[in-house]
């Protein structure tokens, strides 16, 4: 009996050693694969950088020098070197007589006006500017109103009353806007979201009865600045010196640079049928990356931070698919908002962030990866700290130590599973 038991025990021990060797070899192979995945995979490839360019802004370019050799900041100068001359000439040019004719209150289709002709109750009343841009009243030919002031319409109305012999002597005439309608305006060029927009007024066929009870009407919602904001705001490459406005077959050029200089800009009221075009200087202008009446109201950024030990974006302080940031924010500010900075230095340092953007001039996507710790420590960080543009995406990668810890956790789970199965 002892002999049989001894042989059986040896056989069991031998089988056990073989099984242990087998799953240990499996774990070793798996460990090598998992640890190899922690190695650096290199920076993302970019089509734009292959030609030696740095993309839409110089801050996108690869870090050229070490932290110890960091020199003077030059990103803004590199950006400006590619700029085309201002189409509008030197800043401070006086407003021309043609441009000045756009200022003031102008009538547009669907505007609600009140017409009073002395004590005449038959012709006096409330009228809507017709779709063809004219004022249509009983017994009178249509009077052109689109793009004109109320005083212009008053003058033509007086003349028409005399011409049609409805009055022998020119009567007292008053034309006043009771309610400003919305205006359909097309905006294209160097804006983030070029498209046709509806500005001001009440949508559809609704009426603002409260405003209509008062004489006179005014709105800022149909201004040029409102149209630019409604299309995402001007891009950093925009030429603000010669914004084009086409109205009734005529071209006007407006200089809006004053909005960034703290001066009043030429903010004209737009009419239905107007076409606005924002030219481009074909360069990134750092000084346009700040809030203004014609800049984007904010920046929507897509973020991903599936970091260890957190198990989801929500527990990593990213509770929404899109985060709102002030216009002019930079990569490092976004990384902080993404919760990628801070925590224990031993496990959280040396993380990296990936910025995904798109060149709005060429429509080529851009991927830029930065070592966060290196960026924080650099004296010339602004030279490589890109501005965040609307629609950008950011992803945060964990540190090497965190990755190794995750590998160890996975190996532990696999080892337990192998022992249970065997």
Same domain, 189 and 275: yes
Average pLDDT for residues 6-15, to the nearest whole number?
45
Domain boundary among 282, 314, 330: 282
Specify the higher pLDDT residue, 421 or 67: 67
Encode pLDDT of 255-281 as tens digits.
888 888 777 667 888 998 999 999 999
Say yes or no: 235 and 259 in one domain.
Answer: yes
Q: If you ran DSSP here, which 8-state letter would residue 191 be given?
A: B
- Gap between the Cα atoms of 8 and 5, Å rounded: 5
Q: What is the pLDDT of residues 137-151, one digit of tens each?
A: 998 999 999 989 999
Q: Are residues 276 and 319 in the same domain?
A: no
Give residue-wise pLDDT tens across range 353-385. 889 998 888 888 888 888 888 888 888 999 999
Q: Is residue 43 part of a domain?
A: no
Last residue of a domain, one of 179, 203, 223: 179
Report yes or no on 23 lying in a domain.
yes
The residues pairing with 303 across neighbouring beta strands, listed in sequence order, are 394
Token pair of 56 as six digits: 């839409």
Q: Are residues 219 and 237 in the same domain?
A: yes
pLDDT attached to residue 11: 44
| Nearest-angstrom CA–CA distance, 91 and 97 | 17
Which residues, 6+ apart, have CB-to-CB distance to 160 below 8 Å? 140, 141, 143
For residues 300 and 400, membership in a common domain is answered with yes
Q: What is the average pLDDT value for the chain, to the nearest integer?
A: 78
pLDDT of 299 strictly over 50: yes
**Vertex 138 angle, CA 134 and 144, to 5°:** 15
Which of the pair, 100 or 162, is modelled with greater confidence?
162
All residues at 6 or more sequence positions from 102 whose CB lies less than 8 Å from its CB, including other chains: 245, 247, 252, 254, 266, 268
Query: Do 307 and 394 share a structural domain?
Result: yes
pLDDT of residue 34: 46
Share of the chain above pLDDT 70, in %: 69
Specify if 129 maps to a domain.
Answer: yes
Query: Is 392 a domain residue?
Result: yes
Full domain range(s) for residue 258: 97-104+182-282
Judge whether 379 lies within some domain. Answer: yes
pLDDT at residue 348 in the model: 62
Q: pTM for this structure?
A: 0.74
Domain count of the chain? 4
- Residue 353 belongs to some domain of the structure: yes
SS3 content of the chain, % helix, strand, coil (to 5): 30, 20, 50
Question: pLDDT at position 409, please?
Answer: 52
* Enclosing H/E stretch for 162: helix 150-163
Which pLDDT score is estimated for 105?
Answer: 83
Same domain, 148 and 191: no
Q: Are 113 and 175 in contact (CB under 8 A)?
A: yes
Overall average pLDDT of the 92-108 stretch: 68
- Does residue 204 sit in the same domain as residue 190? yes
Question: Each residue of 230-260: pLDDT tens digit?
Answer: 999 999 999 999 999 999 889 999 988 888 8
Q: Does a structural domain hold residue 82? A: no
Say how many residues make up the chain: 422
Task: CATH number of the domain at 270, please.
Answer: 3.10.560.10
| Residue finishing a domain among 134, 156, 179 | 179
Average pLDDT over residues 66-73: 82
Same domain, 303 and 396: yes
Q: Are residues 223 and 304 in the same domain?
A: no
pLDDT digits (tens, 9 = 90+) for 168-200: 888 899 999 888 888 889 999 999 999 999 887
Indicate if the pLDDT at residue 202 is higher than 80. Answer: no
Give the model's pLDDT for residue 102: 78
Q: Same structural domain for residues 213 and 140?
A: no
Distance CA 108, CA 150 (A): 11
Same domain, 154 and 241: no
> Would residue 267 count as lying in a domain?
yes
Residue 30, pLDDT > 80, answer no
Task: List pLDDT tens digits, range 150-159.
Answer: 999 999 999 9
- Which CATH number belongs to the domain containing residue 130 in this structure? 3.30.1950.10
What are 331's two structure tokens?
Answer: 């990569």
């Amino acid at each position: 009996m002892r002999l049989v038991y001894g042989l059986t025990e040896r056989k069991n021990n031998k089988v056990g050693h073989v099984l242990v060797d087998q799953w240990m070899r499996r774990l070793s192979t798996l460990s090598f694969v998992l640890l190899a995945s922690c190695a650096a995979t290199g920076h993302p490839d970019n089509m734009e950088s292959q030609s030696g360019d740095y993309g839409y802004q110089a801050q996108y370019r690869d870090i050229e020098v070490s932290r110890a050799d960091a020199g003077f900041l030059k990103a803004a100068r590199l950006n400006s070197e590619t700029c085309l001359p201002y189409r509008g000439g030197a800043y401070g040019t006086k407003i021309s007589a043609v441009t000045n004719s756009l200022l003031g209150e102008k009538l547009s289709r669907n505007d609600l006006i009140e017409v009073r002709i002395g004590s005449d109750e038959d012709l006096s009343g409330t009228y809507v500017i017709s779709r063809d841009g004219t004022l249509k009243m009983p017994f009178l030919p249509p009077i052109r109103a689109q793009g004109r002031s109320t005083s212009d319409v008053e003058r033509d109305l007086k003349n028409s009353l005399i011409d049609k012999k409805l009055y022998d002597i020119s009567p007292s005439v008053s034309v006043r806007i009771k309610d400003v309608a919305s205006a359909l305006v097309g905006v294209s060029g160097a804006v983030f979201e070029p498209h046709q927009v509806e500005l001001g007024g009440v949508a559809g066929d609704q009426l603002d009865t409260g405003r209509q009870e008062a004489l006179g009407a005014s709105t800022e919602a149909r201004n040029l600045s409102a149209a630019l904001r409604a299309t995402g705001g001007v891009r950093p490459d925009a030429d603000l010196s010669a914004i084009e406005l086409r109205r009734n077959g005529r071209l006007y050029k407006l200089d809006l640079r004053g909005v960034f200089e703290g001066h009043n800009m030429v903010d004209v009221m737009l009419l239905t049928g107007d076409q606005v075009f924002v030219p481009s200087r074909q360069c990134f202008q750092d000084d346009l990356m700040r809030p203004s009446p014609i800049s984007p109201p904010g920046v929507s950024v897509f973020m991903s931070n599936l970091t260890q030990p957190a198990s989801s974006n929500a527990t990593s302080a990213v509770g929404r698919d899109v985060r709102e940031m002030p216009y002019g924010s930079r990569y490092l500010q976004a990384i902080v908002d993404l919760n990628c900075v801070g925590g224990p230095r031993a496990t959280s340092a040396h993380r990296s962030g990936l910025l995904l953007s798109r060149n709005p001039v060429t429509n080529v996507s851009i991927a830029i990866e930065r070592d966060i710790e290196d960026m924080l420590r650099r004296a010339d960080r602004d030279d490589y700290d890109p501005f965040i543009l609307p629609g950008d995406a950011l992803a945060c990668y964990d540190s090497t130590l965190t990755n190794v810890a995750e590998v160890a956790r996975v190996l532990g789970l696999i080892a337990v599973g192998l022992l249970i199965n065997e």
